[in-house]
Structure 1
Amino acid sequence: MKTVAHMLRAKPNQDIYTIAPTATVLQALQLMAEKNIGALIVTEGDQVVGILSERDYARKMVLKGRSSVGTPVSAVMSAPVISVTPEQTSRDCLRLMGRGHLRHLPVIDNGRLLGMLSVGNLVKEALAEQDELIQQLEQYIRG
């Protein structure tokens, strides 16, 4: 089973996109659209203070009739942040995501933000692990 550190290294785009809690939701949406991502990590200095996802926007902005222009990210971000460490496994991540109904997991090591994994990253990894196991079993059967 692969670790979070391995999965981060294997990601084609290893950029980390963050936004300040004082930025507007509109600014966050513009950044997410520009980078084609579904969530931003909210940071104050080097500290992770929240996460803002498309789901947060839909549930806390659109359904409540708020304006993206004047609403700060801090008003709708999810906090505290559920995160993983580089040593954890893909299975650990999938369990956390399943329990918390999460689509994104920041990777934090000793207070330092290293990256983020999405449910898509984890599904891709799970499929690769299954393919590898199938190949090993086929080789074993063939002798």
Structure 2
Amino acid sequence: MKTVAQVIGAKQTQGIVMIAPEDSVFDALKLMAEKNVGALPVADASGRLVGIVSERDYARKIVLQGRSSFVTPVSAIMTSKVITVEPRQSIRECMEIMTEKHLRHLPVLDEGRTVGLLSIGDVVKETMAEQDNLIQQLEQYIRGE
């Protein structure tokens, strides 16, 4: 199975998109919509990961609590105890973490620097590709190719 580095390296992105903790939740939502992502790593002025904010956070901590996304800072709703992975870890390890912790996104840190964001969609896509490849190999083996 591939590593996190292989999967995030193959994604068609221009680099990791992050938001600052003092930015408004509305700005975070606009950025998520613009980039077609469901979560954003939150980084301080030095670029250090301090949290993650997701559409789920918005739904539970803004909409359901009657708060305003225009005036509420990202820091008020972000998850600050972020579970991260490293580029050398396998996609299988990530799947286990996501399943066990009920997560949809995992920031990828390389020596403390945020280098990517792995989504559950990335993990599912890679797992399906791996299974398709294995099926093809087994069919070729059975046919004697």
Report the TM-score range of the alignment, normalised by the length of the smaller protein: over 0.9
Structure 1 residue 38 and structure 2 residue 38: aligned? yes
The TM-score normalised by the length of structure 2 is 0.95
> Where do 5+ consecutive residues of structure 2 fail to align?
none
Distance 1:99 1:49, change over 3 A: same
CA distance in 2, matches of 1:92, 1:136: 24
Q: Report SS of the residue matched to 1:91.
A: helix
The TM-score normalised by the length of structure 1 is 0.97
Residue correspondences, number: 143
The residue that corresponds to 1:132 in the other structure is 133
Amino acid at match of 1:43: A
Q: Give the 4+ runs in structure 1 shifted more than 6 A.
A: none
The residue that corresponds to 1:5 in the other structure is 5
Cα deviation, residue 14, structure 1: 4.5
The residue that corresponds to 2:67 in the other structure is 66
- Asked whether the 8 Å contact 1:14–1:115 carries over to 2, the reply is no
How big is the alpha-carbon RMSD for the aligned residues of Structure 1 and Structure 2? 0.9
Cα deviation, residue 15, structure 1: 2.4
Q: Percent identity?
A: 62
CA distance in 2, matches of 1:118, 1:52: 13
Distance 1:127 1:14, change over 3 A: farther
Cα deviation digits, residues 86-114 of structure 1 (max 9, x gap): 11001001111111111111100110111
- Asked whether the 8 Å contact 1:38–1:53 carries over to 2, the reply is yes
Amino acid at match of 1:36: N
Q: Report SS of the residue matched to 1:18.
A: coil
CA distance in 1, matches of 2:103, 2:19: 19
> Where do 5+ consecutive residues of structure 1 fail to align?
none
CA distance in 1, matches of 2:63, 2:99: 25
